[in-house]
Amino acid sequence: MKETVSKTFREIYGAADDVRSYFAPGRVNLIGEHTDYNGGHVFPCALSYGTYAAAARRNDRKLRFYSVNFPGNGVTESSVGDYRPLRDKSWTSYMKGVMWALAGRGFEMDCGLDIVIGGDIPAGAGLSSSAALEVLTGIMLRDMFGFDISNQEIALLGQKAENEYCGLNCGIMDQFASAMGRKDHAIFLDTSDLSFQYVPFVLQDEVLIITNTNKKHSLKDSAYNDRRRECGEALEALRKVTDAEALCDLSPEDFEGNKDAIKDPVCLRRARHAVYENRRTIEGVRALEAGDLEEFGRLMNASHVSLRDDYEVSCRELDILAETAWEIPGVLGSRMTGGGFGGCTVSIVKKEAADEFCRVVGETYREKAGFDCTFYVVSPGGGPEVF
């Protein structure tokens, strides 16, 4: 993909004196879903799949964008400073949102750019192609303009861009995993204070398989923002009887003792998921560190049930994949990953069962969903790169 992006740059814009290349990874979240904006723990890892860019400085303030994944869109033109938060609806809004967020911090671009983007993250799969694009933009601009900013700050500005420029109230997990990824490790992140630790994640007798429903999800068009509002309402009710600053400040025991303060049954279910998912994530990392992959897999399965029943962000296609996987010998755990409403599952599967997993899940999915799913065997990848 790097070579494709560089070649396309020459074809679209011609030769340039200093064309630079960049990469930022997508991510898969192993456990800890919809906890990141509730002050809880998450456990993602970066992937070797990601988004690439080739870019060169211009001698004016024009911005030109081209995506090899969407060639029919042609070249999209804009200019430095022409930012329209919440009104910019093109795919370039993720990049311009980061430019806008950087400008708000005093990091001003002194010229325009010619940019070509390309990625091998399946679009709409819930593997954080948008976060990768945001982190990629921050890494690219830091390199090209000499901005003094860390990867962690780039992650936070990527989140700000998605929240306030693109209009999706996501948490910090996706951008953090992309910006801070480390090969063969997952990131145990406490989103309440951004403290984190790298946890080795190298499977010996198992493989990590991502299964794409091929049902694209669009978080803006989903009830994602509604989930944040419902969690906020649950928290306000709990604050009347506890000193919790976030839902995930509460242990399951604290929650059970005070849940009657939440009168809305929908908000109650949302809060229950957040509190118990946070506990599952903490217990899951402990199990992994103890070498107990079977316990980690059991917690993955419980996570999916909670996301399906309490948080209601699964869908028929995701449920088919997870529930079919649970019945296959050699599958330790399987759950939806990402925001939901489509996208992918992530499964830990014994190596000797991997072929049977793909066969049975593929056949069952085709029979019940009416179209094919796609399988990716993955391992934790590194963070962003400047080539």
Q: Would you give the DSSP letter of residue 100?
A: H
Residue recorded with tokens 């390309």 = 118
Helix orientation angle between 151-160 and 129-145, rounded to the nearest 10 degrees: 120
**217 within 8 A of 339, measured Cβ to Cβ:** yes
Amino acid symbol at 207: V
Catalytic: which of 36, 88, 114, 174? Answer: 174
- Separation between Cα atoms, residue 245 and residue 262, nearest integer Å: 16
- Separation between Cα atoms, residue 330 and residue 333, nearest integer Å: 9
Reported in sequence order, the residue ranges of the chain that DSSP labels E, i.e. its strands, are 20-31, 41-57, 62-67, 76-79, 113-119, 185-190, 195-200, 206-212, 331-337, 344-350, 374-378, 385-386
- Separation between Cα atoms, residue 168 and residue 176, nearest integer Å: 16
Cα angle, residue 224 at apex, residues 306 and 39 outer, rounded to 5°: 65
In which element (H, E) is residue 316 found?
A: helix 316-326
**1 within 8 A of 118, measured Cβ to Cβ:** yes
**330 within 8 A of 357, measured Cβ to Cβ:** yes
For the question of residue 148 being annotated catalytic, the response is: no
- Residue 19 has phi, psi (to 5 degrees) of -90, 125
Parallel, antiparallel, or unpaired for β 344-350 and 331-337? antiparallel
Distance of CA 362 to the CA centre of its chain: 24
**95 within 8 A of 137, measured Cβ to Cβ:** yes
- Residue 177 has phi, psi (to 5 degrees) of -65, -40
Cα angle, residue 22 at apex, residues 54 and 26 outer, rounded to 5°: 120
**What tokens appear for 208 in the block?**
């990590």
Parallel, antiparallel, or unpaired for β 41-57 and 62-67? unpaired
The set of catalytic residues is 174
